[in-house]
Amino acid sequence: MVFDNLIIRARSLEKTYGNEAVLTDFNLDVWKGSIFGILGVSGSGKTTALRLLAGFENPDSGIIEMYDKIVYDEETNIPPEDRNIGMVFQDYALFPHLNVEKNIGFGLTSKDINKGRLEEVLEMCNLKQYRNKFPQDISGGQQQRVALARALAPKPDVVLLDEPFTSLDAHMARDLRDEVVSLLRETETTAIIVTHDQEEALSVCDIVSVLEDGKVMQSATPQEIYLNPVSQNVANSVGDPNILKGFSKKGRVETALGTFVSAYEGALDVSIRPECIELSLDSKGAYVVKECIFYGHDQVVSFENSAGQIFRSRSLPSTIFESGDKISIEISEVTTFPSNT
Amino acid sequence: MKTPKALASINMVILSIFLMPVFYMVWRFFTFTRSFESFFDSWNVYGLLFNTISMFFAVVISSLVLGLLISIILIRFKITGSKILFTLCTLPLVIPSYIGALTYISAFSPKGLYVQIFSFTGLSEINGIEGFIGSWIVLTLFTYPYVLLICSSALRNLDSTVEEAARSLGVKRFRIYTSVVIPRLKKPIIYSGLLVGLYVISDFGAVSLMRYSTVTKAIYTYYEFSLLGDPIIFYSGLLIFLALIISFIQRGSDVSRSAKVSGTPRIPARVELSSRSKLLVYFFFAVVIFFGLMLPVSVLSYWLIRGLSLGNDVRAVFGGVVGSFSASIITSILAIIISMPIVIMVSQYRSKFGDFIEKIILALYGLPHLAVGVSILFITVKIFPSIYQSFFALVISYLIVFLPQAVGGGQASMEQVKTSYIDASSSLGKSKIETFRKVTFPLIYRGLLAGGALVFLSTMKELPQTLLLRPTGFDTMAVDVWSFASEGLFTQAAFSAFILLAISAIPTYILSTRNLSG
């Protein structure tokens, strides 16, 4: 995908509630037509970031630009209603006194409606048969569609989605997610999705920003984030790697699972993703299986070394491992970071 | 979100006007010309306090017994027609206590309906339906519906698993009620009992028609004799003090705030009754409904028909109708308008100041009308003589005690307006004013109207403040009922009472049952 047009740029946003810094030095660049993800646990400041962009709250300092036009800085503050940013709220915030059609048409002028925009959106989101129902009379998935349709109707420059799928059950969330993403792609809508779900962020977004304690830790493509996390924390937030301590001398680091090459010197954290450890039954092996959890499409095996340290491996369920089996291991890929401590 | 300065200052102004009566009372308490002890020496303070407090306990206990008994019978036993019986048993709450008292006094007076009916036995008058006994009967009959409404809705939502557990542990069926059911209804029982108690200590109409000397009756007597400041202020202060203690305890047991059991409660199967017990139960309901509903209605109808057939002039009461309507309409509209900034403040901006306002408003609700009336009376006499005995001062006094109802109505509906609705609207390009017009207002106007309607009805039935503060020549139906009845002119009193009930009964019933049974 080629992105040639920057649509939102945020620089050095800061936000404090009382004494608590919620966002520090928050930066973001969103390209036209892309889906941008902000990934973080609850309390990491991701919803605040969204609210600052939408204009519901003001940052303490920093600059927000849209299409090279300043939306917020020390002198300018364009109110939310004039930013042309659509928003899908976590609780959907559908107006309970208006039916589906009126909810979707809320942000449209009568001129837009006469031109057929309402019908177009109803059609696009598959909501025609629900047009006269009230929000409380339709399912959670339909409500989610209405919320998206309402946000898309006025053709906003960008749509913000705040944890859009968390209120739905897992199965429905997956289906609806695919539907929403293809809708966003088809209409070439720029979107920013805030989520705590790593799978969602990695599978849906073109660029992911990992947010922790109000700071952007890494902002890159999903592949880059997953394969080359810049820190142990980022690695943790997009997977569940084995983290080993080590000390690197002359580009080699010795750990409990073997010796590896490292670009850094000194104290190190070595991250090994479970799927990069291959196990094989070996009566002379140095490791012992503790537990094997079977998931169907794969299995996770916990094993320990002679010092009693426990590690995890994820593999296809082709070999059966039982507790007490002796095994040997082979590691295909490791990532090293300078140690935090 | 931060509260806008304009909103905060509007609320400050409203709040200070509304707290004026209390501040004035406190100030007067510190500037008495005589020592505090001398009040107790020279007046019958202990006697009056004793009367008020014994009435409080008598009515609270009898209302609780009656209300709980009816709740349990109607909800836990198989009774044919339980829905109709429930309605008939809650209906007496639409009858103001002074109208109830009027019907009881007049029913057994020499020309009264029940003396006429039983005249063949040589009966000429029944004495004793006055004083303590009379007040007790009347106040119980017209307040137990509050207990019934609150406790029956709590009982209906009570999960029966605990009862089943108790029975499996060997507790007999009827002991279940004393050992498990009633203890679990502790909060609604205390809440509704104290609601009745507040009503009792503030009641002026019933006790004064029944000639039972309580603190409220003493205040009015002093007012009638002379505008002697000290005793009136002293007793009013005492009354406010009592009321604040009661409402403080009551808030602590607010049912709506207690934690709810998750999931749907298991409703116990209704117990079948033996035919003998059934007969007893129906007899019990016949007695309750007769005294709470049939007697007042039949007596009022009797006086009405008798008066009309004797050619009594009905036109005398029209002034009261006009007065009641004008006062009620103006008060309710003002209440809606004034409640708006408070509602917006309390529900849209969670802040310490908002919480404070909410608490004050709740406290105002428990203030005895007579004491507020007294305070406004003295404030107008001493500080603002230009509005003394003006319609304006009367309306302010109404607003002070009834505003909480308007705020309650608005607040309940404002809770539906989530802040995300406001954000959603602005992200769809709507300005603040448009958002209010298209989102907030459509969501809250019903609640505001319901609150306003409640204020309208309450104002229409209000007695003590109206008596103290009405401009010369200004009458309301409530004042007519009271003054005709206290002169023994039962026909005229009944006319006004009848019209008042005809207008207010059904809406009062709908609004109160909706509010109290949650």
For the stretch A325-341, pLDDT in tens is 999 999 988 888 887 65
User: How many percent of chain A have pLDDT more than 90?
Assistant: 52
Q: What is the distance in angstroms between the Cα of B405 and the nearest Cα belonging to chain A?
A: 24
Number of domains in chain A: 2
CB contact under 8 A, A93 and B418: yes
Residue B144 confidence (pLDDT): 95
CB of A96 within 8 Å of any CB in chain B?
yes
Class of domain B1-9+312-492: mainly alpha
Decide: residue A7, CB within 10 A, 0-12 exposed, 13-18 middle, 19+ buried. Answer: buried
pLDDT digits (tens, 9 = 90+) for A199-234: 889 999 999 999 998 999 999 999 999 888 888 888
Using CB atoms, which residue from A80, A95, A97 is nearest to B427? A80
A1 domain residue, yes or no:
no
Q: Specify the CATH number for the domain of residue A255.
A: 2.40.50.140
CB contact under 8 A, A81 and B428: yes
pLDDT digits (tens, 9 = 90+) for A139-164: 988 999 999 999 999 999 999 999 98
CB of A85 within 8 Å of any CB in chain B?
yes
Using CB atoms, which residue from A82, A83, A93 is nearest to B420? A93
A324 domain residue, yes or no:
yes
Residues of A in contact with B413 (CB under 8 A): none
Residues of B in contact with A91 (CB under 8 A): 418, 420
Residues of B in contact with A192 (CB under 8 A): none
Task: Judge if A244 and A111 occupy the same domain.
Answer: no
CB contact under 8 A, A97 and B442: yes
Q: What is the distance in angstroms between the Cα of B442 and the nearest Cα belonging to chain A?
A: 7
CA dist., res. A13 & res. A38, Å (int): 15
Among A50, A60, A88, A89, the residue to mutate for chain B (most B Cβ within 10 A):
A89
Mean pLDDT along residues A51-65? 92
Task: Judge if A142 and A278 occupy the same domain.
Answer: no
Task: Judge if A231 and A260 occupy the same domain.
Answer: no
CB of A151 within 8 Å of any CB in chain B?
yes
The bridge status of strand A6-17 relative to strand A20-31 is antiparallel
Residue B254 confidence (pLDDT): 63
Q: In what order do the strands lie in the sheet with A190-195?
A: A85-88, A158-162, A190-195, A35-39, A207-212, A215-220
Q: What is the distance in angstroms between the Cα of A113 and the nearest Cα belonging to chain B?
A: 15
pLDDT digits (tens, 9 = 90+) for A239-253: 888 988 888 888 888
Q: How far apart are the first and last CA of chain B?
A: 30
- CATH value of B43-257+273-311 in 1.10.3720.10, 3.40.50.150, 1.20.1250.20, 3.40.50.300: 1.10.3720.10
Say whether pTM exceeds 0.90: no
CA dist., res. A72 & res. A53, Å (int): 9
Q: What is the pLDDT along chain B (518 residues), one digit of tens a residue?
A: 567 788 888 888 888 888 888 889 888 888 877 777 777 777 788 899 999 999 999 999 999 999 999 999 998 888 888 889 999 999 998 899 999 999 998 888 877 888 888 878 877 777 778 889 999 999 999 999 999 998 998 888 887 777 777 777 777 777 888 888 888 888 889 989 998 999 999 999 999 999 999 999 989 988 888 666 788 888 898 899 899 888 888 877 665 544 444 455 667 778 888 889 899 999 999 999 999 999 999 999 998 888 888 877 777 778 899 999 999 999 999 999 999 888 888 777 767 888 888 888 877 777 899 999 999 999 998 888 898 889 999 999 999 999 988 888 888 788 788 888 989 999 999 988 899 899 988 988 888 888 899 899 999 999 999 999 999 889 999 999 999 888 888 888 888 898 899 888 888 888 877 776 65
Residues of B in contact with A83 (CB under 8 A): 427
CB A109 within 8 A of CB A155: no
CB contact under 8 A, A89 and B428: no
Residue B258 confidence (pLDDT): 44
Domain that holds residue A293: 240-338
Task: Judge if A216 and A93 occupy the same domain.
Answer: yes
Helix (H) or strand (E) holding A24: strand A20-31
**Last-in-domain residue among A236, A257, A284:** A236
Using CB atoms, which residue from A82, A84, A93 is nearest to B424? A93
**What is the 3-state secondary structure of A256-308?**
CCEEEECCCCEEEEEEECHHHEEEEECCCCCEEEEEEEECCCCEEEEEECCCC
CB contact under 8 A, A79 and B418: no
CB contact under 8 A, B428 and A154: yes
CB B348 within 8 A of CB B417: yes
Residue of A nearest to B428 (CA): A107
pLDDT at A113 over 60: yes
CA dist., res. B117 & res. B121, Å (int): 9
Task: Judge if A184 and A44 occupy the same domain.
Answer: yes
Task: Judge if A76 and A120 occupy the same domain.
Answer: yes
Which A residues in the span 49-78 are in contact with B, Cβ-Cβ below 8 Å? 51, 54-56
CB B108 within 8 A of CB B34: no
Task: Judge if A95 and A107 occupy the same domain.
Answer: yes
Q: State chain A's mean pLDDT as an integer.
A: 89
Neighbouring C-beta atoms of residue A261, cutoff 10 Å: 10
Residue A3 confidence (pLDDT): 55
Domain extents in chain B: 1-9+312-492, 43-257+273-311
CB of A79 within 8 Å of any CB in chain B?
yes
CA dist., res. A241 & res. A239, Å (int): 6
Q: Specify the CATH number for the domain of residue A25.
A: 3.40.50.300
Q: What is the distance in angstroms between the Cα of A256 and the nearest Cα belonging to chain B?
A: 49
pLDDT digits (tens, 9 = 90+) for B225-280: 866 678 888 889 889 989 988 888 887 766 554 444 445 566 777 888 888 989 99
Residue A264 confidence (pLDDT): 81
A328 domain residue, yes or no:
yes
